């Protein structure tokens, strides 16, 4: 079966890929989101659509994906196991495939405690590893988790996961990636990279395990807008490392925003040089308009054309 996903085509033909990210709004009005998507149109292969990120109620990832497809753009639908059981996850997968979604990202999801419905009941029927395995099995074997067969085989979908080199235990993190690959991950996007040294150490071990040849690794890049944003990520976002040196560098700069962009561009340039990094995932949530500039300055524009 030939790839149908543009992202898969770009990666499998050896190009350094760029993916973007869109956070759905806390309303059903998608005008601003559409505007952001449009601005990135020629700069990214596909767009991650977050799934009630940090457990905050927003328009559903699949709902936004439908809008993107109407616009002729490619969504990467994020699916967390926090809010849906295996009945719903499998059914939503089929629903999304039915209207053209080809990229799925299987995630655990932030705990509901962080969101705007902290009294809700967590589901966690599956974990992210089990979801990955289930999606692969549905695609490759045409069988649901419970063992029943699909009435018709699924088209070729591209299955993604996330990896966090900045979480602990650090020694385990490359092995965890191996486990995700064994479960079915074809591409992974990493947590935002601010500590390149640690990322490189992780990649070293990933290469030792030969994983860079089995899975496309997209490094996560987030431009920092201000010292406040950097500090917030340093102290309040789980599983993230923001080195003090980076904050010092921002402090020393006259134009913080410009320096934030410089850092993002330099990060991508370094990532391009690391063996086994297949692309970047640019997460400029609430600063989407700078993505074209970052991509261009990182020497990644124009994007490759694939058939």
Partner 1 sequence: MIVGERKPLAEIAEMLEPFRKICVLGCGTCVTVCLSGGEKEVAETAAALSLLRQKEGKDVEIITHTLLRQCEYEYIDDYAKNMPECDVILSLACGVGVQTMATRLSEKIILPGLNTKFMGYPLEQGVWTENCLGCGDCVLDLTMGICPVTRCSKSMLNGPCGGSQYGKCEISKDVDCAWHLIYERFLKLGVLDRMEVIQPPKDWSTSHHGGPRTIVREDVRLETGK
Which parts of this chain interact with partner 1 (CB under 8 A)?
Answer: 81-82, 86, 108-111, 113-114, 122, 124-130, 133-134, 145, 162-164, 166-169, 172, 175-176, 178-179, 182-183, 191, 238-239
Shortest separation between residue 110's beta carbon and partner 1, angstroms: 7
Nearer Cβ to partner 1, position 237 or 274?
237
Question: How many Å apart are CA 137 and CA 123, to the nearest integer?
Answer: 22
Question: How many Å apart are CA 158 and CA 7, to the nearest integer?
Answer: 8
- What values do phi and psi take at 256, rounded to 5? -65, -40
Question: How many Å apart are CA 240 and CA 6, to the nearest integer?
Answer: 30
Nearer Cβ to partner 1, position 107 or 261?
107
Shortest separation between residue 85's beta carbon and partner 1, angstroms: 9
Shortest separation between residue 199's beta carbon and partner 1, angstroms: 14
Question: How many Å apart are CA 43 and CA 292, to the nearest integer?
Answer: 6
Shortest separation between residue 145's beta carbon and partner 1, angstroms: 6
Nearest to 11 by CA among 123, 119, 143, 103: 103
Nearer Cβ to partner 1, position 10 or 107?
107
Residue 180 vs residues 106, 134, 171, 175, 176: alpha-carbon distances, Å: 10, 12, 16, 9, 6
Nearer Cβ to partner 1, position 27 or 238?
238
Nearer Cβ to partner 1, position 178 or 300?
178
Nearer Cβ to partner 1, position 70 or 238?
238
Shortest separation between residue 168's beta carbon and partner 1, angstroms: 5
Helix intervals (H) in 125-192? 128-141, 173-183
Long-range interactions of 287-290: CB distance < 8 A, separation 24+ = 287/223, 287/225, 288/20, 288/22, 288/36, 288/39, 288/40, 289/36, 289/39, 290/223, 290/261
Shortest separation between residue 7's beta carbon and partner 1, angstroms: 21
């Amino acid at each position: 079966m030939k790839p149908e996903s543009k992202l898969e085509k770009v990666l499998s033909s050896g190009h350094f890929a760029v993916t973007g990210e869109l956070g759905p709004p806390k309303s059903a009005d998608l005008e601003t989101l559409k505007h952001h998507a449009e601005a990135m149109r020629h700069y990214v292969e596909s767009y991650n659509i977050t799934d009630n990120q940090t457990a905050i109620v927003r328009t559903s990832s699949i709902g936004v994906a439908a809008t993107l497809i109407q616009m002729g753009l490619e969504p990467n639908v994020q699916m967390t196991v926090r809010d849906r059981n295996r009945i719903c996850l499998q059914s939503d997968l089929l629903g999304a495939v039915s209207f053209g979604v080809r990229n799925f990202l299987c995630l655990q999801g932030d705990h509901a405690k962080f969101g705007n419905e902290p009294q809700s009941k967590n589901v966690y029927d599956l974990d992210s590893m089990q979801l990955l395995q289930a999606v692969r099995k549905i695609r490759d074997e045409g069988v649901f988790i419970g063992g029943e067969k699909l009435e018709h085989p699924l088209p070729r979908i591209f299955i993604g996961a996330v990896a966090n080199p900045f979480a602990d235990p650090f020694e385990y993190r490359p092995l965890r990636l191996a486990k995700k690959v064994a479960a079915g991950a074809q591409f992974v996007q990493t947590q935002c990279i601010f500590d390149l040294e640690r990322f490189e150490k992780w990649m070293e071990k990933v290469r030792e395990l030969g994983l860079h040849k089995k899975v496309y690794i997209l490094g996560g890049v987030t431009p920092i807008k201000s010292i406040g944003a950097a500090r917030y990520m340093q102290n309040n976002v789980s599983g993230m490392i923001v080195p003090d040196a980076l904050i010092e560098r921002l402090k020393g700069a006259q134009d913080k925003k410009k320096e934030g962009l410089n850092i993002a561009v330099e990060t991508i340039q370094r990532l391009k040089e690391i063996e086994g990094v297949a692309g970047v995932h640019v997460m400029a949530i609430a600063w989407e308009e700078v993505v074209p500039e970052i991509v261009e300055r990182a020497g990644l524009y124009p994007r490759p054309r694939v058939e």
